[in-house]
Amino acid sequence: MSAPDAPLANRPRRPLFQKYLAALFIAVVVPLLANGISEAWFGYRDQRVMLGHRLRSEAQSAAGKIQGFLDDITDQLRWTVQLPWREGTDEQHRFDVLRLMSQAPAVVDVVLIDGSGHERLHVSRVNPDIVNSGADHSQDPAVIGARASRLWYGPVTLYGGSEPHLTIAVAGPRAANGVTLAVINLKLIWDVISSIHVGQSGDAFVLDSAGRLVAHPDISLVLRGDDDPAAARLKDLQQAMTAAGEETTEGVNAEHRPVIAAMAPIPGPGWAAFVEEPATEAFAPIRAALWRTGLLLLLGAVFAAGLGYLLARRMVGPIRLLGQGAERIGAGRFDQKIEIATGDELQDLAHRFNEMAVELALSQERSERIARLKRFLAPQVAELVEGSDQERLLDSHRAEVVVIFCDLRGFTSFAGRAGAEEVMGLVQEYYEALGGIITRYEATLTCFMGDGLMLLLNAPVPCPAPALRGVQMAVEMQAAMQSVVSSWRGRGHEIGFAKGPATVGRIGYEGRSDYTAIGNVVNLASRICAAAADGQILIDQAAAAEIGDAYPLTPLGTRPLRGFAEAVPVFSVAASSPAGAVLHAAL
């Protein structure tokens, strides 16, 4: 894997931010959407029902107006059958008719028929009046119909194949009053039909029972007669409505525009009034409502996205900060604090992280110090020194110390001859053999010197009877060295130590410091060691004085030592003595 890919691999595949964002977004949008859609649906249904109601009531109103137009004429016609036909009433009847015709311009022709079914008067707007022609109308369906139900509407007939006319017959309350036949020019319904407006641009029209167009605001459509395709489309609308058994339908009108239409019966002549409204106009409120809902949903979604983004950021931001903080702690940088002021559990968590970082910093510092101490102190002593706030023990001071030197005899010449691996193997073996013993006796190791080492007792931590302890350790060392030295072709190992005052303390520079002792006693111990023979342990007089009878010592008299003007009394320690063994066991 190449280096640039590493951060990608570490990046979470499904980040928390996205999850929170998605969750919050969905939490807002889903209810909004559900609400919006249900409202739109119910709104649409209500609007649709209302539209149906409105158009039906418009249709009923239109039917009422058309019926009213016919009723006005019928009411006028009834005046002409109020009087029975008697001698001398002819003039009265005639005046009724003339008045009627001046009142009702749509009436173009009136025929009065007496009780016996004979024509008494025919008044026309075009032809001369005909009085008492006596023509027999008794078998005329209009007369029969009017006599049966007092009011009879004939079929719509087209004058000249163009202009629609309707015959209405009314009968008087008594048979003797006769029957009045009136021909109505239906073109004059235009005044009524063209005044009906449905919505903004909708209008009304009338079809008779056969589906023939009787009235329409576009008079040309009415006058085109029976076989007009535009009028046929209106007939189709009627048939669609009748077939569906409903009072409203969607279809195309005479001008081929999509419309929504409603129908209401005109009971008198058996016609039907229709109102039509362009579909675009009729559905405009519904469309507007849908647009409104859609826009609200969109705004809601944008709002939800914004809200989700903000909340997710508020939630994830601190988590990221925590993550970065943890990363810093992991990298060992404890100085920077995690700053979170959300006032919630995350702030607590950050606080704990910061505390942890402080603890970790302290702990690391301590373990570093211990590690440093361990370089020259036995681990248990190091722990003791560090933990007990007695680090000032390490500060320079003068102390009565026992300085111990160990030395591998002939090492230098051996190192010159032998190969590097052999040399290092031997040194390693040597230190391993002595290391455990040094640690056990809590001696302070001041330095390795390749073929030897220097130890201190009673510094920095004081111990009781340091010389005796030194002897015991030396004896054990020499015992341990037997196995090492035997494998080492018969060369020797000697130990010498002395007791005396020395200045002890840490020396060195930042990050590199050792603990050491400086004083005459150090030279003395070194020289005594140099004077020792293989396997011998030599000590000075001060050490011997301290030991006294505690360990068997053999005075060797004085010895001249390099660097010392006078010969120095030296004592030998009996190595591997039974008493030493006992003492060792007792230690």
Partner 1 sequence: MTILRRTVLAASALPLLRAGALAQSGRTYRVGLVSIGPPESGILSPGMIQNFAKRGYVEGRNIEFERRAAQGKPERLAGFIDELVAKPVDVIVTSSYPAAAAAKERGGKIPIVVINSGDPVATGLAASLAHPGGNVTGVSEIATELSAKRLALLKEAVPSVKAVAVLWNADDFGMTLRYQAAEVEAKRAAMLIVPLGVHAPDDFDTAFSEMTKQPPDAILMVTDILTILNRKRVIDFAREHRLPAIYEYARLVRDGGLMSYGPDEAGIADRAAGLVDRILKGANPADLPLELPSRFQLAVNLQTAKTLDLAIPESILVRADDVVE
Q: Which residues bind to partner 1, rule: CB under 8 A? A: 94-95, 98-99, 101-106, 124-129, 158-163, 185, 187-188, 191, 194-195, 219-220, 223-225, 228
Query: Given the complex with partner 1, which of 66 and 385 has the nearer CB atom?
Result: 66
Query: Given the complex with partner 1, which of 125 and 366 has the nearer CB atom?
Result: 125
Closest distance of CB 59 from partner 1, Å = 20
Angle at 19 between CA 16 and CA 24, to 5 degrees: 125
Among the listed residues 167, 174, 158, the one whose alpha carbon sits nearest the alpha carbon of residue 111: 167
Closest distance of CB 143 from partner 1, Å = 25
Residue with tokens 């329409």: 216
Instruction: Kindly compute the dihedral angle of the four CA atoms of residues 260, 266, 271, 272, in this order, to the nearest 10 degrees.
Output: 10
Q: Which amino acid is at 523?
A: N
For strand 397-408 and strand 271-278, is the pairing parallel, antiparallel, or unpaired? unpaired
Query: Given the complex with partner 1, which of 160 and 490 has the nearer CB atom?
Result: 160
Among the listed residues 329, 95, 63, the one whose alpha carbon sits nearest the alpha carbon of residue 215: 63
Check if the beta carbon of residue 249 is closer than 8 Å to that of residue 276: no
Closest distance of CB 36 from partner 1, Å = 37
Closest distance of CB 99 from partner 1, Å = 6
CB atoms within 10 A of CB 112: 25
Residue 290: exposure state from Cβ atoms within 10 A (0-12, 13-18, ≥19): middle
Closest distance of CB 186 from partner 1, Å = 10
List, in sequence order, every residue forming a beta bridge with 119; answer none if it has no partner.
Answer: 113
Give the pair of three-digit tokens for residue 80.
């002409």
Q: Which amino acid is at 280?
A: T
Closest distance of CB 208 from partner 1, Å = 17
Rounded Cα distance, 196 and 187, in Å: 15
Closest distance of CB 57 from partner 1, Å = 22
Query: Given the complex with partner 1, which of 225 and 317 has the nearer CB atom?
Result: 225
Query: Given the complex with partner 1, which of 73 and 408 has the nearer CB atom?
Result: 73
Angle at 439 between CA 578 and CA 496, to 5 degrees: 60
CA of 32: how far to CAs of 18, 28, 36, 303, 340, in Å? 21, 6, 6, 11, 34
Which H or E element spans position 405?
Answer: strand 397-408
Residue with tokens 């002939």: 410
Closest distance of CB 159 from partner 1, Å = 7
Closest distance of CB 101 from partner 1, Å = 6
Check if the beta carbon of residue 212 is closer than 8 Å to that of residue 225: no
Closest distance of CB 103 from partner 1, Å = 7
Query: Given the complex with partner 1, which of 3 and 126 has the nearer CB atom?
Result: 126
Among the listed residues 324, 462, 295, 300, the one whose alpha carbon sits nearest the alpha carbon of residue 381: 462
Angle of the 16-79 helix axis to the 284-330 helix axis, nearest 10:
170
Query: Given the complex with partner 1, which of 99 and 174 has the nearer CB atom?
Result: 99
For strand 537-539 and strand 568-573, is the pairing parallel, antiparallel, or unpaired? antiparallel
Residue 127: exposure state from Cβ atoms within 10 A (0-12, 13-18, ≥19): exposed
Query: Given the complex with partner 1, which of 159 and 448 has the nearer CB atom?
Result: 159
Query: Given the complex with partner 1, which of 196 and 316 has the nearer CB atom?
Result: 196
Query: Given the complex with partner 1, which of 164 and 496 has the nearer CB atom?
Result: 164
Query: Given the complex with partner 1, which of 94 and 328 has the nearer CB atom?
Result: 94
Closest distance of CB 224 from partner 1, Å = 5
